[in-house]
Amino acid sequence: MFTGLISDIGEVLDVEQRGDTRFRIATAYDVDTIAMGASISCSGACLTSVAMGHDGGRGWFAVEASAETLSKTSLGRWQKGTHINLERAMKLGDEFGGHIVSGHVDGVGEVLSRKSEGDSERLMFEVPAELARFIAPKGSVTLDGTSLTVNEVDGNRFGVNLIAHTLQVTTWGQSKPGDPVNVEIDMLARYVARQLEATRG
């Protein structure tokens, strides 16, 4: 379980094709504290650490992704040098400042536009129709692992504002129109919609 508060920007060091695809990711985390089998959110996708080490003074961990994961997320586009948002799994007693994030990506959206608004940036996104119905103004959504608040919704499109701090400590500072984004809808919105469907049925 995660909160959607990014704690590091990792960098893909290499991509290796095996039975599954293995990514080796550089991180500022103390890799000696990452347990084998630990869950780490990598741009919103909960992946399992399968190896850790050091390379030229940089710590790294490795994760593996199946063909299914690659097809349902943006991970299939990762290559050497790709920067990704990282968050380690919550521990009991951690401060809870975002919203409940499972790390299970529901689909892939796209950045439509980006413009400056004072010190903030306004980004517009488009998501598949089956996900758009779960997104509401002032509700939460997880994009590339980041817990964000929705400003406005127009059909399959919605906007968010990113403050300067968020732009600095996540990959959003590098984002541009056309970029794919991993989308996880709010867990509470999913259950409310399911309950309404059951009531109508």
- Name the token pair of 91: 């521990």
User: What's the rounded Cα separation, in Å, for the pair 11 and 78?
Assistant: 10
Domains by residue range for the chain, with CATH = 8-88 (2.40.30.20), 107-200 (2.40.30.20)
Q: Give per-residue pLDDT as tens, 65-88.
A: 999 999 999 999 999 999 999 999
pTM of the model: 0.92
pLDDT attached to residue 1: 84
Separation between Cα atoms, residue 115 and residue 129, nearest integer Å: 24
What's the mean pLDDT in 44-50? 97
Angstrom CA distances, 134 to 9, 137, 140, 186, stand at 28, 10, 10, 7
The predicted pLDDT at position 99 comes to: 72
Q: Tens digit of pLDDT for each residue in 153-173?
A: 999 999 999 999 999 999 999
